[in-house]
Homo-oligomer: A and B are copies of this chain.
Amino acid sequence: MSKDFGNFDSILIIGLGLIGGSLALSLKEEGFTGTIYGYDLSKERIQTAQELNAIDKGFSKLEEIPWDKIDLVILATPVRTFEKIAKQIKPFLNSSTVVSDVGSVKGDLIENLSNILKPNTFIGIHPIAGTEKEGIENAVVGLFKGAKVIITPTKESKDAQRLKKLWEDLGSKVEVMNPHTHDFVFASVSHLPHAVAFALVDALIKLSKETGIDLFSYPGGGFKDFTRIAASSPTVWKDIFIENKKDVIHAIDEFTKSLQELKKYIQEENQEKLIELLSESREKRLSLDKS
């Protein structure tokens, strides 16, 4: 099937950060021939987006946007801003305009956004791609190429099919998932590791203060790789943690249990149990490299 990007003509990207910027650049790179509009509160970011040729035209006021032309709006701001923005744009939308996002939390948020925006359709998208960097100046052309992209439609629809096609034409592997399953899965494989990385660096800051030894001058032994994701955006992650609170806290609790179990075996010098726990983790982790 030839590339048609779901037959959307004019796309408005709200939030010109790393993901919004990478999306705009990737659309152009992959041959999207429609118009890309950008909206951001910061005039500086709009200017950068224009200089990078990511967007055709940028706006910092909602009322100046040519809404009659726009058939797809993509929210690319931190997830805790979505409901507020949905309420703000609602009065401007055409009846056929589809609203989507690129956020890391789905679940209840999808339902809330659908309720705010109806009769317009909201369809959730989560591209499993990104870097620990921030800002449109760090945008990456082709960021979504080969990446897994989760789509969480609440019902079958032509618009969901169109959106799926748009992401497939960007080179992504699109997978359909229930919004609540999504939140559990990513609380475990992404939000938990981020929480752990932030907490690990925090603990080392405190241990350094406590002893007067600058632990950060010994970045060997896996620590540097391990905590790369602790350099991720505080605003983005504060929003993800709060918005996906229930699943994130469940994942933190389950992880804490595993760590306490490991600690207990160390305390007891239980060699057999330690080998068992470490071997099981090792085998599981090694199996990932094969896939």
Contacts and interface: CB of A to CB of B under 8 A. Distances in A.
Interface string A15-56: 000000000000000000000000000000000000000000
B269 A205 contact: no
A268 to B, nearest CB: 10
A223 B277 contact: no
Interface string A198-227: 111111111100110101111111111111
A249 B237 contact: no
A98 to B, nearest CB: 25
A248 interface: yes
A263 interface: yes
Contacts of A282: 198, 230-234
A271 interface: yes
Contact of A281 (B230, B254, B263, B267): B230
A260 B196 CA distance: 10
Interface string A262-291: 110011010100110111111011111101
Interface string A168-205: 00000000000001001110111011111111111111
A148 B218 contact: yes
Chain A interface SS verdict (over half): helix
A95 interface: no
Interface stretch (A3-11, A57-65, A238-246): A238-246
B284 A189 contact: no
A56 to B, nearest CB: 30
Interface of A: 128-129, 132, 147-148, 181, 184-186, 188-190, 192-207, 210-211, 213, 215-235, 237-238, 241-242, 245, 248-249, 251-252, 254-263, 266-267, 269, 271, 274-275, 277-282, 284-289, 291
A258 B222 contact: no
A205 B281 contact: yes
Given A198-B282, A199-B262, 11 more contacts: A188-B204, A193-B200, A199-B281, A204-B284, A205-B280, A205-B281, A205-B284, A206-B258, A226-B229, A230-B282, A252-B262
Nearest to A201: B281
Contacts of A197: 222, 226, 281
